[in-house]
Amino acid sequence: MNRNFLSSVTIISLVLTLMSYASSGHAQSAQEKGLAIAKERKLRDKGWGDSTGNMSMILRNAQGEEVERKMHLKSLELVDDGDKGLTIFDQPLDVKGTVFLNFTHAIEPDDQWMYLPKLSKVKRIRSRNKSGPFMGSEFAFEDMSSFEIEKYKFKYLRDETFEGQASFVLEQEPTDENSGYSKQIVWVDKKHYRVLKIEFYDRKGSLLKELVNYEFTLYLDKFWRPLRTEMFNEQNGKSTELITHELNFNTGLSDNDFNKGTLKNVR
Amino acid sequence: MFDNIVLIKSFKGSTLKTLFPLVAFLPTVVFAEIEYTGSAAVEQRYFFQDALYPQQERANLSVYFAPEAYTSFNDGNDSISFKGFYRLDQQDEERTHGDIREFKWTHSGDEWEVQTGIGKVFWGQTESLHLVDIINQTDAIEAIDGEDKLGQPMVTFSLFKDWGNTTVFVLPYFRERTFSGSDGRFRAALPVDTDNPIFESEDEEKNLDWAVRWQHTLGDWEVGLSYFDGTSREPDFVFTTNELLEPSLRPLYPLMQQAGIDVLALLGGWTIKFEGIQRTVMEQDYTAFVGGFEYSFVGVFDSVYNINWLMEYQYDGRDDITNVVAQNDLMIGSRFVFNDIDGTVILAGVVQDLDYSNVRSGFIEASSRINDHWKWRVDAWMFSSDEIAEPSYMLRRDDYVQLSIEYYF
């Protein structure tokens, strides 16, 4: 009896230990799996080097009225740090020639400058204002900066088929307290690790925006880029469509092209 | 391109062969695409008080045209840019004026660049006063804020390195400041005789000025150091009378040396800004500085609006402050950014003189887009000055509001 009791206690405690081990192991693996998927996503996009592109941004209000913005971009991939980017505004015409220079950093806030042609002035700007709208659109400044692993804590949620593509669904929680989001839910396709859709949740935890990528095109036989991105604001009914008209790789850009001293020459 | 084809057809055989490399090269040099852009505006000013002088009017209509052209060649390593300016003013014939703001050739190397021609540069970080910014002369007749500048002839050499950006300026020709005529507002009791300036330099406006500037980013800090040696952009005035015994003020441009420092630091929600100069002019040494902060409230009341608060203190150590507005003054301002599709911004502020409690000025600037080509803008200034010792005393009846309609192409 005594022995039986002991053994049953042993068995129960053993079972409990196993269960707790299994459950903690499972919780850990959701984070680990999330991180592994995010790392694979980053890895698949490694080595694109540099690019130039031509884009339009269509801003729509809830009544369906629209305004078009035009810009072109120059981007440079960096190995040990976040990417460098130049955005040159072409339309509306009163801001034509304005240049936005961004050095993305994984943990530290991005370094950002704006060149204002009217004053011939290079102005350092605060990247802590990352939740602010980019050119009056539904994209925030932080949505325009490059994807870095250190910016988020990841969690794998489930598998799901999104528009016919087998996908992982991840939760990513921004590590920066200045982010405008409490979390993002990301659909990544299993075959190419491309971001198909993102749901953005505001600081109060309500769904704020939904981004969907369309018309994926393969560049340099390796890198997938969506030529059309829709960002829809669930709370105010406004939306912004980002259309890539032209995208070129291996354009010969170097670090020198991303200097605040030469912004006045950028076209 | 069409001209090329005609050219090729008119030559025969061997001539064509020798010309071919040249012709192949031509389109990139001679026929590089020229980009034309620019802006124009109609501005209506209305002054709130009757003028101090009988020639002055209560209302003024003005238009300007500012065309720009740009072309690049040699794979973008060389470029030529042009920015012209012409204003037509209803009341003040001095304000009816033109200028080449920029007409320069830029040649870029790997980590260096040479610019030759007429250019415009801006140095500094503060908002209420630009102390270190010394290269370009102020086109003072344009606006009371002094932000409009005349094109400056220059040759510059810049080096862009890990340790910062350094530029050396050689400035072979001096531009005189512009002043309102007798029919214009914002003027002294006596006319400024801009036809008879006095220079300390024997070479007068052809004195060879030079300057050097180093600017660098150190994490969240922007740091600039500068030195200038040449004719002062800021004139003194000499009382004079002509043969008819009519009095006037002749601008006097002395030689000077100026060392400057400008700093911007991002600290939490605060942006700290500072500019300081040490100047030697007419056997006098003095310092002046302006410093303060900007604080941003992002997404006010759960909206997309930003409100920035600015406060800057201005100090000038000159003994004779007859011409110095910013000798001991405090600016408090606010920038309200709507973050809307039309890019609406409102900037408002007050500058209070701390030596004279009854001397202050206030301003509001608001602008917004109408569509891709058109934009409206409202500027208003108010001057309160009962103090004869202050230069702002001459503006005491010049409170105004201006509505501008701008066209961009």
Where do the domains of chain A lie? 44-265
Nearest-Cα distance to chain B for A220, in Å, is 24
Q: What is the pLDDT of residue B22?
A: 46
| Residue among B298, B340, B374 with most chain A CBs within 10 A, to mutate | B298
Distance, CA of B180 to CA of B163 (rounded, Å): 44
Give DSSP secondary structure letters for B78-131: EEEEEEEEEEEESS-TTTSEEEEEEEEEEEE-SSEEEEEEEE-------SS--S
Contact between residue A98 and residue A80 where contact means Cβ atoms under 8 Å apart? no
State which amino acid sits at residue B272: I
Find tokens 């309500």 and name the residue: A206
Distance, CA of B113 to CA of B105 (rounded, Å): 10
State which amino acid sits at residue B85: F
Q: What rounded mean pLDDT belongs to chain A?
A: 89
Nearest-Cα distance to chain B for A218, in Å, is 28
Q: What is the pLDDT of residue A4?
A: 56
Find tokens 């024997």 and name the residue: B202
Distance, CA of A255 to CA of B7 (rounded, Å): 41
Report angle CA B362, B366, B370 to the nearest 5 degrees: 165
Nearest to B165 among A59, A261, A265 (CB): A261
Instruction: Assess A251–B contact: CB distance below 8 Å, yes or no.
Output: no
Q: What is the pLDDT of residue A230?
A: 97
Q: What residue in B sits closest to A108 (Cα-Cα)?
A: B219
- CATH class name, domain A44-265: mainly beta
Distance, CA of A172 to CA of A41 (rounded, Å): 13
SS3 per-residue string spanning chain A: CHHHHHHHHHHHHHHHHHHHHHHHHHHHHHHHHHHHHHHHHHHHCCCCCEEEEEEEEEEECCCCCEEEEEEEEEEECCCCCCCEEEEEEEECHHHCCCEEEEECCCCCCCEEEEEECCCCEEEEECCCCCCCECCCCCCEHHHHCCCCHHHEEEEEEEEEEECCEEEEEEEEEECCCCCCEEEEEEEEECCCCCEEEEEEEECCCCEEEEEEEEEEEEECCCEEEEEEEEEEECCCCCEEEEEEEEEEECCCCCHHHHCHHHHHHCC
Distance, CA of B155 to CA of B151 (rounded, Å): 13
Residue numbers of B between 168 and 207 with CB closer than 8 Å to A:
none
User: Which residues, other chains included, contact A154 with Cβ-Cβ below 8 Å and sequence gap of 6+?
Assistant: A31, A34, A35, A37, A38, A170, A171, A172, A173
Do B160 and A256 make contact, defined as CB atoms within 8 angstroms?
A: yes
Instruction: Assess A63–B contact: CB distance below 8 Å, yes or no.
Output: no
Q: What sign for the dihedral angle of Cα B180, B186, B191, B197?
A: negative
Averaged pLDDT, groups of 10, chain B, 409 residues long: 38 44 49 88 96 92 97 92 97 96 95 96 95 97 94 97 96 97 91 94 96 96 98 94 90 97 93 97 94 86 83 91 84 92 94 92 96 96 88 90 97
Q: What residue in A sits closest to B160 (Cα-Cα)?
A: A261
Nearest-Cα distance to chain B for A224, in Å, is 29
Instruction: Assess A126–B contact: CB distance below 8 Å, yes or no.
Output: yes
Residues in chain A: 267
Nearest to A265 among B79, B120, B296 (CB): B79
Distance, CA of B336 to CA of B130 (rounded, Å): 22
Query: Whose CA is closest to A69, among A47, A86, A94, A44?
Result: A94
Do A265 and B406 make contact, defined as CB atoms within 8 angstroms?
A: no
Q: What is the pLDDT of residue B330?
A: 96
Nearest-Cα distance to chain B for A129, in Å, is 7
Find tokens 């103090």 and name the residue: B387
Nearest to B372 among A93, A121, A261 (CB): A93
Cα–Cα distance list, B151 to B158, B205, B320 (Å)? 19, 14, 30
Cα–Cα distance list, A20 to A10, A30, A90, B188, B294 (Å)? 15, 15, 59, 87, 53
B327-344 CB burial, b ≥16 within 10 A, e <16? bbbbbbbebebbbebbbb
| Residue among B142, B300, B341, B367 with most chain A CBs within 10 A, to mutate | B341
| Two structure tokens written together for B42 | 């109609």
Distance, CA of B90 to CA of B56 (rounded, Å): 11
Find tokens 């950002």 and name the residue: A112
Report angle CA B47, B53, B56 to the nearest 5 degrees: 45
Q: Which phi and psi (to 5°) does residue B134 adopt?
A: -125, -15
> What are the residues facing B261 on neighbouring strands?
B225, B276
Do B121 and A261 make contact, defined as CB atoms within 8 angstroms?
A: no
Instruction: Show the low-confidence residues of chain A (pLDDT under 50).
Output: 1, 25
Find tokens 């008119």 and name the residue: B10
Distance, CA of B137 to CA of B235 (rounded, Å): 11
Contact between residue A213 and residue A231 where contact means Cβ atoms under 8 Å apart? no
Predicted structure pTM score:
0.86
Q: What is the pLDDT of residue B43?
A: 98
Q: Which phi and psi (to 5°) does residue A164 adopt?
A: 80, 0
Nearest-Cα distance to chain A for B78, in Å, is 10
The neighbour count for residue A26, using CB atoms within 10 Å, is: 9
Nearest to B217 among A68, A111, A132 (CB): A111
Distance, CA of A136 to CA of A140 (rounded, Å): 9
Pairing label, strands B270-281, B374-384: unpaired
Q: What is the pLDDT of residue B340?
A: 86
